[in-house]
Structure 1
Amino acid sequence: MAVVTVTLDANLAIDVMLLSGTRSPQDAVELIVRDYLARGQRTEARAGDAADGHPPVDAPPVQPEG
């Protein structure tokens, strides 16, 4: 796996460490990014892709009015 170095403001790094409950800024940022990506994948799985024209998987069937 490739390693990337990112420079962050100290206050931002501390906030991320507090949110993730870690003592290392590197571990904290990695956990936050992994959570963000996993959350995005779960959202896409539930909502589907708007471009494909398919309704969400767990959407109830549409009842005709009238």
Structure 2
Amino acid sequence: MSTAIMIATMSSVFLGFAFFTGAFASYSYGKPGRLTWSLFAIAVLFITVIPVILAISVAV
């Protein structure tokens, strides 16, 4: 695995956890549900989908 792909994966997971933290904070502070679910959906994208796409692109 190249260093660039590894850094991209680590950055993606970090951003995903940041969005997940934002989703939890928005829920805790009673913000609208749409904001909470949007942040959560973005977090799932950054934590799971993007790293899997990067891993598959390296494997192929």
* TM-score range relative to shorter protein: 0.3 to 0.5
The TM-score with structure 1 as length reference comes to 0.39
Larger Rg: 1
Higher relative contact order (Cα pairs below 8 Å, separated by 6+ residues): 2
Structure with more helix by fraction: 2
The TM-score with structure 2 as length reference comes to 0.43
